[in-house]
Amino acid sequence: IYTWMPASIQNGAPDGLSLSYQGTVISGQFLSYEGTLTATDGPAVGLTSTDMGVTEDSAPVGESLQLLGVGTSYEDFAWQMPAASTQGNVNNSQSFGGSLDPEPTNYPTAFNAIANELSINLSWTDAIGAQLPRAYLIQGVKPGVTATAPVDGVPVAEDLDWSDGIATINVNYGVEAAVFSTLLGSMEYSFYIYPYTNAGANIDYKTDGTVPVATATTVNATVISFEDFATGLGVWIPYNVLGEQVWIGSSYGGITFAKMSGYAGVAFANEDWLISPQMDLDLYEDINFSFSTAANYSGPALQLYYSQDYDGAGDPNDFTWIEITDQADWSGLSFLWVESGDVSLDAYASSSFYLAYKFTSTDIESATWEVTNCLVMGVLKTGIQQNDVVDLVVYPNPASNQVTVLADEDAQVMIINLMGQTVKTVPVVKGANPIALTDLTNGMYLVKIDYKNGTTAVNRLMVK
């Protein structure tokens, strides 16, 4: 079973793919057509492809390039021009024999979990024995949730939605590492690892004996805002001041990012901003901003700014922006991804806060900049941390269509998303108050109650 990531195939020559087993490219199976290429990522990194010698130019729907021939070894087959496609099945005139692998003999050893802020890094030593695994299923669970062992013949797909308290990923044999990111703060997560052989209806999990488990607790922090540009520019807003080129969402090698270049055949003068959503940072302390950049070609450097008076829509040049570019690490050339490090925002926190990247180019030169994993996180200030709340009860939690808030007296309840934006304000009375949630998207929120005597309490709410 081979997995193909659509974003890995580019529109234009040459195109290529590699077949690998347990992280190693199968000999002679880094293939391309319409020329050769050198891989810059993945198992084939550093290798040069072999041109199939055939091309597919406007082939009719229902046809594809195929490896055809008669025989029992790879050398008996050759790549042919488009033929009737057999999606989901073997190529025309081909069949496979052989036998299934038995269940893996052993579990991996030295399974460890180490928290890194709001991420948890997992590592292990691959299983050994008569039958090695093809891969591993890793199941993460939140407190109070029971791990469920997988069942033979029922593959478990990757699922990073924690709303049901469980997340799963599959990791190939030989990798010996995985990471779960953008987790909740101050929470202990447990992880179980199941080796398996085969795939599809023949998948065979090892679940007997003692399943390795590793636990780790994330730091006392909350994700205030996160954007990896997996869906275009996401919640960040582009503003074009000068030039026809604009910020766009893009991807390469499985990484999604925001991209800006002033080059379109020749360099053009540009000024383009990419601006975060408004954030209320007054609720937090120990606030840090981090991101990753990749750049290439000569031209003005990308700049980083913050504003406390931007209106969220107008020309950024009409408002006050303070540059903090020198507080981050940046990419150089060759599209090498560089992590920014933590940029402290404590000194600038306000109830109306924006971050922005400013791109400029000239009609002489233009660099290309890519940005991703824009993460703002902080610690809820003393007095509003979840463990300190005794006079604010919300149930059920998680909730779907409606949540009930218990109030000690008449007050006002605000529901705030993790970007610090108030998305709902509701007056409440002493006792139980049902609040509709049907107009909210799934995710984590803060429920804040303000009493008339000036006291405030906050609790977290998961909407699913």
Does an H or E element contain 322, and which? strand 322-323
Q: List where CATH 2.60.40.3080 sits in the chain.
A: 386-463
Is the pLDDT at 237 greater than 70? The verdict is yes
Alpha-carbon span 183 to 235, nearest angstrom? 19
- 187's tokens: 């929470």
Alpha-carbon span 285 to 290, nearest angstrom? 15
At 325, is the secondary structure helix, strand, or coil? helix
Residue with tokens 């804040």: 448
Is the pLDDT at 133 greater than 80? The verdict is yes
Is the pLDDT at 83 greater than 70? The verdict is yes
Is the pLDDT at 362 greater than 60? The verdict is yes
Half-sphere exposure of 387 (CA within 13 A, CB side): 8
Average pLDDT over residues 232-243: 94
Q: List where CATH 2.60.40.10 sits in the chain.
A: 109-219
What is the DSSP-derived secondary structure letter of residue 301?
P
Burial class (CB in 10 A: 0-12, 13-18, 19+), 183: buried
Is the pLDDT at 3 greater than 90? The verdict is no
pLDDT in tens, 294-342: 999 999 999 999 999 999 999 999 999 999 999 999 998 889 999 999 9
Alpha-carbon span 25 to 20, nearest angstrom? 4
Is the pLDDT at 59 greater than 70? The verdict is no
Domain 109-219 has CATH 1.20.1050.140: no
Alpha-carbon span 221 to 377, nearest angstrom? 6
Peptide bond into 300 cis (omega under 30): no
Average pLDDT over residues 220-243: 89
Average pLDDT over residues 415-436: 83
Q: List where CATH 2.60.120.200 sits in the chain.
A: 225-380
More confident residue, 186 or 147: 147
Is residue 377 a contact partner of residue 419, using CB atoms and an 8 Å limit? no
Q: Which long-range contacts (CB under 8 A, 24 or more apart) does 412-416 make?
A: 412/449, 412/450, 413/447, 413/448, 413/449, 414/447, 414/448, 414/449, 414/450, 415/440, 415/445, 415/446, 415/447, 415/448, 415/461, 416/280, 416/283, 416/445, 416/446, 416/447, 416/448
Is residue 143 a contact partner of residue 187, using CB atoms and an 8 Å limit? yes
More confident residue, 178 or 221: 178
Average pLDDT over residues 415-430: 81
Second-level CATH architecture of 386-463 = Sandwich (2.60)
Residue 244 confidence (pLDDT): 95
Residue 109 confidence (pLDDT): 97
Alpha-carbon span 388 to 369, nearest angstrom? 43
- Range of weakest confidence among 69-78, 198-207, 437-446: 69-78
Average pLDDT over residues 455-460: 74
What is the DSSP-derived secondary structure letter of residue 12?
S
pLDDT in tens, 239-278: 999 999 999 999 998 889 999 999 999 999 999 999 999 8
Nearest to 398 by CA among 445, 434, 449: 445
Q: How distant, in Å, are the alpha carbons of 234, 277, 369, 372 from that of 250?
A: 11, 20, 11, 10
When the pLDDT of each residue in the chain is averaged and rounded to a whole number, the result is: 86
Residue 377 confidence (pLDDT): 86
What is the DSSP-derived secondary structure letter of residue 38?
B
Is residue 122 a contact partner of residue 111, using CB atoms and an 8 Å limit? yes
Is residue 378 a contact partner of residue 317, using CB atoms and an 8 Å limit? no
Residue 40 confidence (pLDDT): 79
Is the pLDDT at 2 greater than 50? The verdict is no
Please report which confidence band the pLDDT of residue 389 belongs to, taking 50, 70 and 90 as the band edges.
Answer: very low
Fold for domain 225-380? Jelly Rolls (2.60.120)
Please report which confidence band the pLDDT of residue 420 belongs to, taking 50, 70 and 90 as the band edges.
Answer: low
